[in-house]
């Protein structure tokens, strides 16, 4: 992610509907997985997800490739290391949880990154993944933020399994707003990471919050969420 995008994200993520609900999703996924022990947030950017892990007592470290992202996370009081997702600066078997939200789609060799995650996880450790879904939604936004691909379920599962992990669950997210996202991105000319007026922000948040109770996780969405484990 470019430095300007990292700064924009950091300024927006505490209040923006998309990031707010993603943090809630992360919290629920960590609880459902029963994850424990030291953790790593790959591609932490503004550090919102890292702070969730810290609140849950998981002793997280934020990993950022670029200097700008590392500086933003450090300014927010987080423990930060710089490094490459495909060569993690972590000892083998050291972690109980690794989170990679919106990371794999930036990497040419996503399976190599998963192999590194498998290496640093303890036996039974958890890997939580979020990626953008469906190449039919490809737009100027993806190009602006440095995406290599968007995923379908089979492609995401294949990358994770090729990396040596066992997939436990894959669900869609941002299903209800998919038609609006598709319409907007047809006309997009760059990143759609922007602030929105407070009333619209609240309305959009209420829509995605509804997905917590609606049975839409198997329908096409804007993102895919996956939980995997290192074999015990």
Phi-psi region of 2 (alpha: psi -120 to 50; beta: other; left: phi over 0): beta
Q: Using one digit for the tens of pLDDT, what is the confidence trace for 8-37?
A: 777 788 889 999 999 999 999 999 999 989
Q: Using one digit for the tens of pLDDT, what is the confidence trace for 136-172?
A: 999 998 998 899 999 999 999 999 999 999 999 999 9
Which domains are present in the chain? 3-229 (3.40.50.150)
Cα dist. 62→37, 38, 78 in Å? 15, 11, 7
What tokens appear for 60 in the block?
Answer: 């997280």
Degrees to nearest 5, angle at CA 4 with 84 and 174 = 80
Helices 153-162, 110-120: axis angle to 10 degrees equals 50
Q: Cβ distance 176 to 211 under 8 Å? A: yes
| H or E element that contains 138 | none
E-assigned strand segments in 34-116: 39-42, 60-64, 80-82, 95-101
Q: What is the pLDDT of residue 10?
A: 73
Cα dist. 179→132, 176, 207, 220, 231 in Å? 15, 7, 13, 10, 38
pTM for this prediction = 0.93
């Amino acid at each position: 992610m470019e430095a300007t995008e990292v700064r924009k994200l950091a300024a927006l993520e505490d209040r923006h509907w998309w990031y707010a609900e993603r943090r809630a999703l992360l919290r629920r996924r960590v609880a459902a997985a029963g994850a424990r022990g030291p953790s790593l947030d790959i591609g932490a950017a503004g550090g919102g997800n890292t702070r969730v892990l810290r609140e849950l007592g998981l002793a997280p470290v934020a990993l950022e490739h670029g200097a700008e992202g590392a500086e933003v996370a450090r300014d927010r009081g987080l423990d930060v290391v710089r490094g490459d997702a495909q060569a993690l600066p972590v000892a083998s078997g050291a972690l109980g949880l690794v989170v990679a939200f919106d990371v794999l789609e930036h990497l040419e060799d996503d399976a190599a990154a998963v192999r590194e995650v498998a290496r640093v996880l303890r036996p039974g450790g958890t890997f939580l993944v979020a990626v953008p879904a469906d190449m039919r939604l490809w737009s100027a936004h993806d190009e602006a933020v440095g995406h290599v691909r968007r995923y379908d379920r089979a492609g995401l599962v294949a990358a994770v399994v090729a990396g040596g992990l066992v997939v436990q669950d894959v669900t869609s997210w941002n299903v209800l707003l998919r038609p609006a996202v598709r319409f907007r991105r047809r006309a997009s000319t760059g990143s759609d990471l922007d602030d929105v007026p407070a009333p619209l922000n609240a309305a959009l948040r209420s829509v995605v919050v509804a997905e917590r109770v609606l049975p839409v996780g198997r329908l096409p969405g804007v993102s895919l969420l996956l939980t995997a484990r290192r074999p015990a």
